[in-house]
Structure 1
């Protein structure tokens, strides 16, 4: 797979003034994971995996634990083989539990209530439901029936920032009203266990989790402090020549969907990271050295290392990204919000700081957002 750098087109407009610019901002965040947590070795032993090549993939990826919803054990003491229908039920039931928990925690963190929610966007790539998670969560949580909603399905690990862009746009058009985004990924509902290296790489990487974020544009700028950080701009960088590098497609042999990750993904992403950030900062007068905080998707050890090298970031810059990978694995679309929550709790960001949010996934696509405290 050959990937070349593309010229950067200037981004429209200049950097908005903040705070007080009227830009939408993050009001609160909440995360949730299943109660069962497994070490990589425990997962291998549960499924009786002895192949040294597969064990090395599991044990060499900088992941220590993951929260998973594993299949029940059968009479023979081995995990039951789940059909596609079983996996879809797992996605629905576990996803709704995680989504509710993440939303409730996010609202508490925001000092808001369910009655305040005017817009709900749900993101997932681990199951297809009609009606989608947004309708089911509105019903289960008792959110107002006037709530507007959106489901973003199948975009993959980059989808959190795609959806946050839409949520930010809605919040900007409805000052003072609360918008929520919740990423719900039950990755264990998308596993195929066939002993191949393709499935083993996927099975070693992804974990289950949900993350919600509340966004609002100040309705009365002169009377209330704006939410921080402010969401200042979003950009996308698409790599069409790598469109098949990350995909979720039908496995005819097993009668279920399965993930595929090309071994070149880390290098494709890394080779394009600088272009993606340059596009985000184009026209602002800013350089990479002006960015104090980096919140990067926990795509995997090789992906993180490739991005770090190409953007000349320190290990400290990606400490929360690597910490989330270590403790939870790749949580797909919600990973960056788990890292953002850790940055927020650390209280390292001070007024005037700038940050970059970055996700990457199928398309192949790198999404970025510029935020300011």
Structure 2
């Protein structure tokens, strides 16, 4: 691998030319959610209030005749996944293309990433029809990989863009996390319900000399899986509630943190770079303890992860698209200089740490 000529393995290195995000209409503070669902257990209240999250965008269940929120069936949750996902995905794609100064007719590859429901055909086909993208557009759906999946998808999109210079490739992370909630009053489900929010994020890649020099090159991606923590994050079928229920092991933050140095080391291996050469760190907003554990193990400052913590505060954990919300905030800051390096890091089921290296 070389970091000097704009090519990797003989192919032109793709650049990230734009990003766009989409959200549901309504957002709620943590205290508002506790009131809406009548949560009085002080242990659960402390989970909601102690996670460094102030507000999340959610698609809550409809209100019943008695003024309380209805209990949704798995079928209703699946329809919520599809309808909410399509609305958010469309907004994210349209915003991204506007930022890239491109049209829907320019999209030649569409990758959709989601873990909050299972539908066939997938979001790539549904969005193609919804938006009027050309029917010969190449497609990919990445389903069920969890919070790390945005970088798994980005690896595939980058490879396609590199192999098709001058053709626009899009990845859209679509996560209607409120379609995967179970309200049973247990601490297991309350941790999940206190953490995740709904959101979509789209990113455009182009491998071409015409791509703006201000757009960062995607130089390298790596994966690191921790097999001994395979069951630490998972979907289980809940027979009692007849729906899927997400499980997060309390040890997840420490497992991820303990492996973060190895994952980043593998990313930087052979590049001639060390961690002190990285100007910007965009880490998945997996939760306060996860962020703190990664930060301590990598020797990062609170300033280094300001966008990660800011996204967690304002949106909660947005699953696969979280890191793109942080990327959007980095762009808005207008502090990136030519030659800066950025590390992207996502974590999720497997347990898995995905990383990517950008050069501006």
TM bin, normalised by shorter chain, reads over 0.9
Question: Are positions 1:325 and 2:312 aligned together?
Answer: yes
Question: Are positions 1:53 and 2:40 aligned together?
Answer: no
Q: Residues 63-102 of structure 1 correspond to what in structure 2 (within 5 A)? A: 63-102=53-92
Question: Are positions 1:232 and 2:219 aligned together?
Answer: yes
- How far apart are the structure 1 equivalents of 2:211 and 2:43? 57
1:313-340 per-residue CA deviation (whole Å, 9 max, x = no partner) reads 0011000000000000000000000000
RMSD: 1.3
Name the SS of the counterpart of 2:353 in structure 1.
strand
| Contact 2:81–2:117 (8 Å) recurs in 1 | yes
- How far apart are the structure 2 equivalents of 1:351 and 1:162? 26
| Contact 2:17–2:212 (8 Å) recurs in 1 | no
Question: Are positions 1:208 and 2:198 aligned together?
Answer: yes
Q: Which residue of 2 aligns with 1:17?
A: 5
Q: Which residue of 1 aligns with 2:241?
A: 254
Name the SS of the counterpart of 2:12 in structure 1.
coil
| Contact 1:26–1:227 (8 Å) recurs in 2 | no
Q: Which residue of 1 aligns with 2:274?
A: 287
Q: Which residue of 1 aligns with 2:105?
A: 115
- How far apart are the structure 2 equivalents of 1:125 and 1:284? 33
Question: Are positions 1:184 and 2:171 aligned together?
Answer: no
Q: Which residue of 1 aligns with 2:334?
A: 347
Question: Are positions 1:134 and 2:121 aligned together?
Answer: no
| Contact 1:157–1:332 (8 Å) recurs in 2 | yes
CA positional deviation for 1:22: 2.5
Q: Residues 295-314 of structure 1 correspond to what in structure 2 (within 5 A)? A: 295-314=282-301
Q: Which residue of 1 aligns with 2:253?
A: 266
TM-score normalised to the size of structure 2?
0.98
Structure 1 pair 127–227 and aligned structure 2 pair: CA distance change class (3 A): farther
Query: Which of 173, 195, 199 is equivalent to 2:185?
Result: 195
Q: Which residue of 1 aligns with 2:228?
A: 241
Structure 1 pair 227–180 and aligned structure 2 pair: CA distance change class (3 A): farther
- How far apart are the structure 1 equivalents of 2:288 and 2:148? 17
CA positional deviation for 1:133: 0.4
- How far apart are the structure 1 equivalents of 2:4 and 2:52? 38
| Contact 1:217–1:227 (8 Å) recurs in 2 | no
1:177-218 per-residue CA deviation (whole Å, 9 max, x = no partner) reads 000000000000000000100000000000000000000001
Q: Which residue of 2 aligns with 1:33?
A: 23
Name the SS of the counterpart of 2:286 in structure 1.
coil
TM-score normalised to the size of structure 1?
0.94
Name the SS of the counterpart of 1:86 in structure 2.
helix
Gap runs ≥5 in structure 2:
none
- How far apart are the structure 1 equivalents of 2:197 and 2:300? 26
- How far apart are the structure 1 equivalents of 2:3 and 2:174? 32
- How far apart are the structure 1 equivalents of 2:267 and 2:186? 39
1:38-84 per-residue CA deviation (whole Å, 9 max, x = no partner) reads 00000010000000000000000000000000001111111000000
CA positional deviation for 1:19: 8.9
| Contact 2:235–2:245 (8 Å) recurs in 1 | yes
Query: Which of 324, 346, 354 is equivalent to 1:359?
Result: 346
1:279-327 per-residue CA deviation (whole Å, 9 max, x = no partner) reads 0001112100000000100000000000000000001100000000000
| Contact 1:19–1:230 (8 Å) recurs in 2 | no
CA positional deviation for 1:16: 4.9
| Contact 1:161–1:369 (8 Å) recurs in 2 | yes
| Contact 2:214–2:338 (8 Å) recurs in 1 | no
